[in-house]
Amino acid sequence: MKIKNVLILNNKLLLISSLLAVNIFAKSIDFDMAQENPQRVAPSDMSQVLSFNNSIKDSMLSVVNISTKKHISNPAGNLPMEMFNDPLFRRFFGDQFGNQFKQNKIQRALGSGVIVSKDGYIITNNHVIENADEITVTLSGETTEYTAKLIGKDADSDLAVIKIEAKNLTPIKIAHSSDLKVGDVIFAIGNPFGIGETVTQGIISALNKNQVGINRYENFIQTDASINPGNSGGALVDSRGALIGINSAIISKSGGNNGIGFAIPIDMVIEVATKLVEEGKVTRGYLGVVINDLTKESAKVYNHKSGALIMEVGRDTPAARFKLQRGDLIFAINNKAVKDRASLQNMIASFKPNDKIVIKLERNKKDITINAILGNRDGLIISESVNGTILGGLLLGDLDSNLIDRYRLPRNIIGVLVTDVKPKSDAEKVGFQAGDVIIQIEDIPITRFADVQEALRKYNEVYKRVYVNRQGQTILLVIK
């Protein structure tokens, strides 16, 4: 009797084990396997060499070396510049006392550029030629040096156009950003470390990269081609040798190449360069909003799942005049989809002041269409910052206890502090000094940085009377 029960139990265990086995195999993965033993190929003729030389040799002739000189004036020895700018120091020793200790030095820098016309127009990075007193260009394979003239520069896109007096140059062929694909083979051409013309190979690692924190307007091509100091302003070309971007920056902890380089895409390059040649500057449309991306949580309260979310509407801006509101989600401009904050920013920047645009947005789960006219962004400062460079070379900051102590200012002083003045700038020429406190611009009292922005919007493109408090005295300076 006992033996029979054991057999029944064993049969049940066997049945359970079989069922478990069936269930396990029922959940197996059907892998999509690649073909085994793939064929490996070589040149059909063993005398052949795989090479892109014929594709890129003309492009190499279009890339130039750029060297710049900048004259700077520094105090002798290790004396800190802040000491000479200290108002208390100047009060005892006089404004000119520090000049006795200054030494003139020449700061040199190297970069690259790309010829885009037979008569000498060259595109490079703004940071390559910024504040340079002299710009010298050397053509590929030559030793003759050409003195270049600055045609225009745009810090927000980090692009600049210079020109040399030469004829029958070799302009580079231009591609289209829309043709680019991740995985495309590309080449970076430039002058890394000043060692001469160099070509490195890689692929397009990513497209439309933004929020990198390099430029204000970002839509980068990311590549793993080796880009090093001196490559800035050089060419990124496809396997045909056509220009797809201007090499701009790398991400690196050591300063060397880590396989993460960025280039400004050719469509943006053409747009900016054309404006710089025609007008000498880039004038962009201005809406006047602080925007952000949708998050996973905020997207739950909107019907549209992509767009740019308005966080603030600036006072006396086009956005305010056309009744945009905090919480509006802009999802299209002129029927072109807005994917995120960066795409809206780049779209608005592509328009000119006074251009009419059609804004489509979601407000309280309803779609609304607003016809708006853009303003002028000239003279405005990055909204995320409480200080910035403005008024022809002034570095300004809102007053706080630290700045008041540092510059030994009266505790009750009200205004915006001049923390630095760029050498040889318009602001320096008219007499601004570090430690000045701006208290009024034309008829607008200045109590904070936003008041400076408002004054520049109101009095853009005209000479402005700027009243400053300098060591307790009010001084009037006029600047455009």
Q: Which two tokens stand for residue 13?
A: 């265990």
Q: Which two tokens stand for residue 330?
A: 């802009």
CA torsion, ordered 196, 199, 205, 209, to nearest 10 deg:
40
Helix (H, G, I), strand (E, B) or coil at 269: helix
Q: What Å distances lie between residue 32 and 28, 40, 126, 465, CA to CA?
A: 13, 21, 50, 74
Q: Which two tokens stand for residue 437?
A: 């406190």
Find out whether 154 and 272 touch, Cβ atoms under 8 Å. Answer: yes
Which residues are known catalytic residues?
127, 158, 232
**What is the DSSP code (8-state) at residue 173?**
P
Find out whether 107 and 69 touch, Cβ atoms under 8 Å. Answer: yes
Separation of alpha carbons 356 and 349, rounded Å:
13
Residue ranges of alpha helices (H) inside 253-366 are 266-279, 318-321, 341-350
For the chain, the distance separating the N- and C-terminal CA atoms, rounded to the nearest angstrom, is 111
Separation of alpha carbons 209 and 219, rounded Å:
5
Find out whether 243 and 236 touch, Cβ atoms under 8 Å. Answer: yes
Residue ranges of alpha helices (H) inside 324-459 are 341-350, 401-406, 426-430, 449-458
Separation of alpha carbons 287 and 313, rounded Å:
9
